[in-house]
Amino acid sequence: MLAPSDGEKCNVVLLGGPGAGKGTQAEKLLEDRRMQHLATGDILRDEVDKGTELGLKAKKYMDKGELVPDDLVVDMVQKRLTDQKGYLFDGFPRTMDQAKALGRVLDLDLVAYIKISKSEAVRRLSSRRVCRDCGRIYNTIFKSPEREGVCDECSGNLYQRDDDKPEVIRDRFATFLDETAPLIDFYRERGLLEEIDGEQQPEEVQAEIESALHQGTG
Ligand code: AMP
């Protein structure tokens, strides 16, 4: 398989529980690749902020750390599968039905499963801050901005997501184990899965994803 930077289309899924670093790795992968980034959590938060019908429906699930129903999410993703670049799916699919729906519309090249423990997820997410304007991700423990509460990139305001409160993080992790973890075997059986230790340094995680992209997964 060729990496998308070589001019080939390539469809990649970043799979992992909350706090695994999917968003951080997506940022890194997109630095030198022309792929369309589809981060369903970001799209849903945007719908919530805009107060759209979808946003209003989604918010009550998101606030509880539950998944937004499949029909809403699948429809939202399908509407965005419009151009001919490869796709970088970040936070999608998250259920077997979503995976099957995706499989009906395109072929995947790689599913990078970034694995972290629950205690690490709680530690990372409770210290995560996000820029309200550009979405850049910070962490008060190991990636703090130069000025507290202000984005280095665009000077936007940094905030803590409502679902990054410890009690919701635990529910999100349980949701991951119940609904998303079965996808690990589903994709492994199809020869698409590359399992990566998400507790390494972000650069090491990135190097493993890059290497899987260049070599294919078998
Ligand atoms: P994330 O930013 O990926 O952690 O997603 C935040 C929240 O958005 C999740 O806890 C879910 O409530 C919702 N969400 C994001 N992606 C999906 C998806 N593929 N299916 C269902 N709900 C989702």
Domain ranges of the chain: 11-117+165-215, 127-164
CATH of domain 11-117+165-215: 3.40.50.300
User: Which pLDDT value is given to residue 214?
Assistant: 86
**What percent of the chain stands above pLDDT 70?**
94
Q: How confident is the model at residue 6 (pLDDT cuts 50, 70, 90)?
A: very low
Task: Name the pLDDT band for 94 (thresholds 50, 70, 90).
Answer: very high
Complete edge-to-edge strand list for the sheet that includes strand 128-131 = 137-139, 128-131, 158-159
161 given a catalytic annotation: yes
- Can you tell me which atom of ligand 1 is nearest the CA of 39? 3
CA of 155 to the centre of ligand 1 (A): 26
Task: Give the percent of the chain with pLDDT over 90.
Answer: 79
pLDDT at res. 42: 93
- pTM for the predicted model, two decimal places: 0.88
pLDDT bucket at 8, cuts 50 / 70 / 90 = low
- Expressed in angstroms and rounded, the spacing between residue 216 Cα and the centre of ligand 1 is 27
Is 172 a residue of the active site?
A: yes
Q: How does DSSP assign 193-205, residue by residue?
A: EEEEETTS-HHHH
pLDDT of 79 higher than 50: yes
Q: What is the pLDDT of residue 218?
A: 42
pLDDT at 191 over 60: yes
Dist. CA 27–CA 46, nearest whole Å: 18
How many Cβ atoms from other residues are within 10 Å of residue 44's Cβ?
A: 22
Instruction: Report the pocket of ligand 1 as residue ranges, CB < 6 Å.
Output: 18, 40-41, 44, 61-62, 65-68, 73, 91-92, 94, 98, 163, 172
Smallest CA-to-CA distance from 110 within 180, 187, 5, 32 is with 187
How many whole angstroms from 71 Cα to the centroid of ligand 1? 13
